[in-house]
Amino acid sequence: MPTSRSVIVGSERQPLNNAKPVGPVQPDLRIEATLRLRPSHPYASQDAAAWSDEALAKRRYLTRQEFAQKYAASPADVARIEAFAAQYLLSVVHTNLVKRSVVLCGTAEAFGKAFQTNLENYAHPNGIYRGRVGPLTVPTDLANIVEGVFGLDNRPAARCQFQVRGGSRMITAHTAEVSYTPPQLAQLYGFPSGADGKGQCIGLIELGGGSRPADIDAYFSGLGIAAPNVVQVSVDGAANTPTTPDGSDGEVMLDIEVAGAVAPGATIAVYFAPNTDAGFLDAISTAIHDQTNNPSVISISWGGPESGWTAQAMASFEQLFSDAAAMGITICVAAGDNGSTDGVSDGAQHVDFPASAPHALACGGTSLTVNSDGSLNETVWNDGSNSATGGGFSANFPVPDYQSQLPNSPSGRGVPDVAGDADPNTGYSVRVDGQQMVIGGTSAVAPLWAGLIALLNQQLGKPVGYFNPLLYGTLASEGVTNDIVIGNNGAEQAGPGWDACTGWGSPIGAKLLQALQS
């Protein structure tokens, strides 16, 4: 076997905080891991600098088929991975050239030898998980082929970014409480009329929980609108598995009901995957390359502090979002619900990932009430350190080109880009497992914006696609958002223009459509 080996860049892993090793994984335990491979041809046009205003205005994107022809993995590279797997007694379960992935299966002992790592069980307050410490290596002749290895560690990758009014994570600072249905919010935010999302597909990424058809029918019947067509897609063996209202069902139903009520004519494709880094990546890759449902916008309401991710995972997510940009797919991601620390108790500021990926449209949160004259009273959502919009500056991603003109010289990619109502005290009226509930969190903002993007795509006749350069460029002076100037999320303060609490602000849908049309 080859003796010369190289470290997979960014594969270093540390245990979760408060986790303790409790013994090695059984050597004969059979597990699966996903290898992400390089594209067959170098990327020629996905540099941020290549997205000129002229190109974006014309929105000349690749089709999924064109992208696959240009950037799929090389069969020769796959053959070399298959030979490597055979050397270490690993079997190839599945290969997908378009998604550039190879899934391997074998014993924990075989994987340990193949990637020179030790797999151990760790006890954590939230349960037992399989983990590793340090980097992974591969034979040097594969180092330029393998971009990442995922699945050896099966710790939960992300948390859902929603909060139930009155739930344990809320610190209520309001004396009055109101709630809105998604159509009411669409009206308050001036979403364009005469569109229902017909011909569009909204993809939802879910890492647990499920929905019940009876709840969907009852909810939309109560709104007086037709229920959308909801399609379930299983990824890595996960499936629609409803449990209880206080679990992940709240996330799944919130996403379906918000996106579906805003754009009831759109197909809602729900991608269920395991809550691991491998499952999360596979779900996003499946949605992006789905030539059956063809989502034009994807909503992600799951994430976690950047400090909890490996560099290889963050690089692979960002590459997938860049792939989506090339195909005209907008990625809306919740910015987090734990203020400027993102729930990390180390005294530093943190932003949530994958919202911090430069090719994501990061969605922050506001508190929204309506004045007696019908005007909006909107401030930064902040009910305390564990119930406030995420926002700040990335420690992993440098300032992208589209943010280079922001004042005060940001230290890294600024989060969020846009915002919407997220305060549970001014939250969304939804139905979960037979119960009427009011839910908030930036989890609701991502599907709200995704629904708006679907409406815009329908009326434009072409996808909005990679929205960020337009948002920070030609649209910045067009008055297409409500500028939020009052409030903070802890360390970050709102102010005129873009800020690291609510980005450019909440949408003014009709003005946004008009600006895009012109």
DSSP state of 345: -
Buried-state track 14-33, b at ≥16 Cβ within 10 A, e below 16: ebbeebeeeeebeeeeebbb
How would DSSP label each residue in 451-465? HHHHHHHHHHTS---
| Distance between CA atoms of residues 142 and 80, nearest Å | 8
User: What's the CA gap between 49 and 402, in Å, rounded?
Assistant: 9
- Estimate the crossing angle of helix 509-517 against helix 442-460, to 10 degrees: 40
Beta bridge partners of 120: 24, 131
- 340 catalytically annotated: no
Kindly name the residue from 251, 282, 318, 342 that is annotated as catalytic: 251
Q: d(Cα 212, Cα 37) in Å, to the nearest integer?
A: 37
Question: Quick check: is 251 catalytic?
Answer: yes
DSSP E strands, 101-212: 101-107, 120-124, 127-131, 137-139, 146-150, 159-160, 163-164, 178-180, 201-206
Element (H, E) at 91: strand 91-96
> For helices 277-288 and 311-326, what crossing angle results, to 10°?
10
Catalytic residue among 285, 301, 443, 506: 443
Distance CA 81, CA 35 (A): 9
Residue whose tokens read 């009831």: 264
Reported residue count of the chain is 518
CA distance 125 to 127: 6
Pairing type for strands 435-440 and 163-164 reads antiparallel
> 150, 277 in Cβ contact below 8 A?
yes
Active-site residue, 141 included: no
Q: Is the peptide bond before 245 cis (omega within 30 degrees of 0)?
A: no
Instruction: List, as own/partner pairs, every contact residues 372-377 make where C-beta atoms lie below 8 angstroms and the sequence separation is at least 24, other chains included.
Output: 376/188, 376/482, 376/506
Q: Which of 104, 117, 195, 443 is nearest to 302 (CA)?
A: 443
Are the C-beta atoms of 265 and 298 separated by less than 8 Å? Answer: no
Which entry of 255, 318, 337, 352 is annotated as an active-site residue?
255
Catalytic residues: 251, 255, 443
